[in-house]
Amino acid sequence: TGTMKVNEKGHLEIGGVDTVDLAREFGTPLYILDEAEFRKNCREYYHSFTEKRPDSLAIYAGKTLLTTAICRLVDEEGLGLDVVSGGELYTALKANFPMHKVFFHGNNKSPEEIKLGVEAGVGRFVVDNLYELYLLNDIAHAQKTRQAILLRISPGIEAHTHEYIKTGQIDSKFGFPIETGQAIDAVIRALELENIELKGFHCHIGSQIFELDSFAHTVEVMTEFMAEVYKNTGFMTQELDLGGGLGIYYTAGDNPPAVDALAEVIFNTLENQCQKLGLKVPRVVVEPGRSIAGPAGSTLYTIGAIKDIPGIRTYVAVDGGMGDNPRPALYQAKYEAIVANKANAKPVKLVSIAGKCCESGDMLIWDIELAEIKPGDLLLISNTGAYNYTMSMNYNRLPRPAMVLVGGGRAELIVRRETYDDLLRHDLIPVHLKNRK
Ligand code: LLP
């Protein structure tokens, strides 16, 4: 994907940089971010939404992959940013991201996080529950400001995706359910609060979704809710945020729809519905994450132990695993891989790729055909840009990998590799254990 190609040495190249050189210079495991691909994916959203309807906005979901450098890329491409924690917000602040284009999400924002957001001047709070609504009103009051918000609505839609990444169904920790009357109740309350300015509604039905029908259906449910709100309160929705969720290619059989097809379905359904229901067409916001970062990232590993259990399976172990990519262990997520230093060699053997953590479940890929390999060869797993680095961990005290941004034949470090000392940075030894031999 992206700018990948095979050079005359038979090595895989990304952004004009030889992956063998990357491994030599930066070590492995290594997260590689293809700048051109990341920008292209941002641009597709910009073209399909903001250029077509200048009041609409695509905000990149920072939970997918966020660093200060990535904030800069997102800003340069004209997108806003969705943050879900004080940490993500702080990252955006430090990168000088324009705060009016930041949407602050989260189902349990702490008073400190709310204060940080109000002080920073984030464009929208996406309010998840009544506790937050009143807390936010109080904090905005103390700061003598009125905070613009969206209410997060739980539309009661089941998207066809993994159980843990479904978010729109009624039995969910997120948002105000429509069915129970809690959504309309929240609207009435929000409209009464002095330091809250209700702009509209948000919903998000899940992630890695391939059926555009799911989005059309969401628009239908949300516009019906908007009509109910108008009838009951006289409030006309100005803004409708439909969340993220567009799927990407991981392995054969994944056929994700194009971004402009998504935009068309959203705009068409919205216009029809608004006309039918007598509503003003609201400003549209979408929150793509995976479909921007996923295809732009890959992870480079060095192959170590190769264990052949005759007649059963060949385990090929790499120098990373669930620490840098917990998705296969967590969601049975599937990936493709290639031997990066022999990218033209024919696949000859069925193997399975193991990580190096002390867990049998630490397998990155079950059953993949690879070229002939030996220890020291490089393995590249593709499409790891989304929810890998951000979900990485130090299990077994493995340092987290570095991340390089590649493009135009250059590679620049954007996240330093963790050292053993980084791992000890927060360790303390109590006095009574000090001075011992
Ligand atoms: N907006 C909201 C409110 C969300 O909860 C999410 C993702 C997004 C936007 C971005 O969705 P995307 O375009 O990336 O599908 N860790 C899981 C995915 C969790 C998604 C959480 N919310 C995984 O690795 O598959």
pLDDT of the residue at 166: 53
Phi, psi of 24 (to 5 degrees): -65, -45
Q: What is the dihedral of CA 56, 167, 200, 55, to 10 degrees?
A: 0
Q: Which CATH architecture has domain 5-33+295-424?
A: Beta Barrel (2.40)
Gap from CA of 289 to ligand 1 centroid (Å): 6
Residue 217 Cβ contacting ligand 1 at under 6 Å? no
Quote the ipTM score.
Answer: 0.99
Task: Give per-residue pLDDT as tens, 262-288.
Answer: 999 999 999 999 999 999 999 999 999
Task: Give per-residue pLDDT as tens, 371-399.
Answer: 999 999 999 999 999 999 999 999 999 99
pLDDT of the residue at 242: 98
3-state secondary structure of 189: helix
User: Is the pLDDT assigned to residue 158 strictly greater than 80?
Assistant: no
Residue 295, preceding peptide bond in cis (omega within 30° of 0): no
What's the CA gap between 170 and 260, in Å, rounded?
A: 29
The pLDDT confidence band at residue 1, using thresholds 50, 70 and 90, is: low
Q: Where in the chain is the domain with CATH 2.40.37.10?
A: 5-33+295-424
What's the CA gap between 313 and 335, in Å, rounded?
A: 18
Task: Give per-residue pLDDT as tens, 90-112.
Answer: 999 999 999 999 999 999 999 99
Q: Where are the alpha helices (DSSP H) in 17-168?
A: 19-26, 35-45, 68-76, 86-94, 111-120, 130-142
Q: Does the annotation mark 358 as catalytic? A: yes
pTM of the predicted model over 0.95:
yes
What's the CA gap between 213 and 295, in Å, rounded?
A: 23
Lookup result for tokens 């059963």: 312
Cβ-based neighbours of 29, under 8 Å, separated by 6 or more: 299, 300, 301, 302, 318, 319, 320, 324, 401
pLDDT of the residue at 168: 60
Residue 204 Cβ contacting ligand 1 at under 6 Å? yes
Cα-Cα end-to-end distance for the chain: 55
Give exposure, 121-133, as e/b (b: 16+ Cβ within 10 Å): ebbbbbbbbeebb
Task: Give per-residue pLDDT as tens, 282-336.
Answer: 999 999 999 999 999 999 999 999 999 999 999 999 999 999 999 999 999 999 9
Phi, psi of 39 (to 5 degrees): -65, -40
Q: Where in the chain is the domain with CATH 3.20.20.10?
A: 35-293
Bridging pattern class, strands 402-407 and 378-382: unpaired
The pLDDT confidence band at residue 162, using thresholds 50, 70 and 90, is: low
Q: What is the dihedral of CA 265, 295, 92, 63, to 10 degrees?
A: 80
Q: Which CATH number fits domain 35-293: 3.40.50.11810, 3.30.420.40, 3.30.1330.10, 3.20.20.10?
A: 3.20.20.10
Task: Tell whether 25 is in a known binding site.
Answer: no
Gap from CA of 243 to ligand 1 centroid (Å): 9
Residue 86 Cβ contacting ligand 1 at under 6 Å? no
The pLDDT confidence band at residue 2, using thresholds 50, 70 and 90, is: confident
What's the CA gap between 259 and 108, in Å, rounded?
A: 31
Residue 392 Cβ contacting ligand 1 at under 6 Å? no
pLDDT of the residue at 160: 62
